[in-house]
Structure 1
């Protein structure tokens, strides 16, 4: 599913608002030990973001690249703003930025993805974050994960993913280390259990 179809989507799939947690046997290296938050799922496909993979650039780098401020202005930003998390959201359109955020920030381009979380992919939210007017909780992601019609369902049936209802605290948790294990814990599962089960498949 392309990001552009998310705005037009009205039907909801059973994976909307779910976490996908990669099984140990995941063959696609893009998704090894990945936790994916699914924002849209329908007969047209699925779209979501990896929420536990660091991006090797900083928020300051993004601001300078977008020419929203110069080096001196960036240095003057509060530390919390400079440390705003940037994640590698997935292998599709990796040069494009998206912000997942709490629904206390709304712009014309914001798309609700759950009762409490919205998605904005325009510069107004970046400016708002810089000016201290951004959402209470947010994370920026470069790129996204997308699947064509029936593709994700096939991967799940082939034992590629576990799924469970998403947890907002985990989505916005800045501690990436151990997030995979914390996502599995939502299902009452540990990585060791998965490894042993995979060995007997």
Structure 2
């Protein structure tokens, strides 16, 4: 099983407050584990703050955009999920034309729509050690579905959880109705 370029959607009864109602874009999944970016949990940092701290002009298309809280690992470091994949100093190719880049050169080029068509900026990432994600799937912690670029880049972050469920064909509350204990 390889869930690279898939969404993990938290089950509605997720008991971990950090991951509750999260949609995670899986950027890498192999025999050693998995790495992903939460795409619907804003951090307290905005793109404006990142550019202001560097004394640079904010790209118009990124003004007032939220930086996502990509996960609890390396929250002091930035990551950009973007299209086209391009040629950057430190990237992981995820889909046909999507990459995850952690090098500063992409931040310097966010205003150039030919180099960076669409982008989601995050701090931190989520990761699973060997076999951990597979066990969480067996424990019904996550639902999976192929990633959708529209949800990833175009749907407002606060609507991405509902949009992922809609793509699955039901609403989160549908999983809770009639649930009981044996």
The question of a shared fold, defined as TM-score above 0.5 by the shorter chain, is answered with yes
| C-alpha separation in 2, matches of 1:132 and 1:185 | 30
The counterpart of 1:166, out of the listed 147, 169, 182, is 147
The equivalent of 1:195 in structure 2 is: 176
Count of aligned positions: 182
- Name which of structure 1's ranges 173-182 and 87-96 shifts more when overlaid on structure 2: 173-182
Shift of the 174–95 alpha-carbon distance from structure 1 to 2, 3 Å rule, reads: farther
Structure 1 residue 96 corresponds to structure 2 residue 91: no
| C-alpha separation in 1, matches of 2:178 and 2:5 | 26
SS in 1 for 2:18: helix
Conserved? CA contact 1:104–1:136, under 8 Å: no
**C-alpha RMSD of matched pairs (Å):** 2.0
1:188 to partner: Cα distance: 0.5
Conserved? CA contact 1:84–1:139, under 8 Å: no
SS in 2 for 1:55: strand
The equivalent of 1:138 in structure 2 is: 119
Cα deviation code 1:15-34 (max 9, x no counterpart): 11111110122121111000
- Structure 2 length as normaliser, TM-score? 0.90
- Which has more helix, going by share of residues? 1
Where do 5+ consecutive residues of structure 1 fail to align?
Answer: 1-12
1:155 to partner: Cα distance: 0.9
The equivalent of 2:137 in structure 1 is: 156
- Name which of structure 1's ranges 181-190 and 123-132 shifts more when overlaid on structure 2: 123-132
SS in 1 for 2:45: coil
SS in 2 for 1:80: helix
The equivalent of 1:34 in structure 2 is: 22
Shift of the 199–36 alpha-carbon distance from structure 1 to 2, 3 Å rule, reads: farther
Cα deviation code 1:39-70 (max 9, x no counterpart): 111121111011111122111211233x3x2x
The equivalent of 1:53 in structure 2 is: 41
Conserved? CA contact 1:24–1:198, under 8 Å: no
Shift of the 109–60 alpha-carbon distance from structure 1 to 2, 3 Å rule, reads: same
Cα deviation code 1:107-160 (max 9, x no counterpart): 232321111201111111111114666411111011000011111111111111
| C-alpha separation in 1, matches of 2:101 and 2:68 | 15
The counterpart of 1:178, out of the listed 124, 146, 159, is 159
Deviating above 4 A after TM superposition, structure 1's stretches of 4 or more consecutive aligned residues are 130-134
The equivalent of 1:119 in structure 2 is: 100
- Structure 1 length as normaliser, TM-score? 0.82
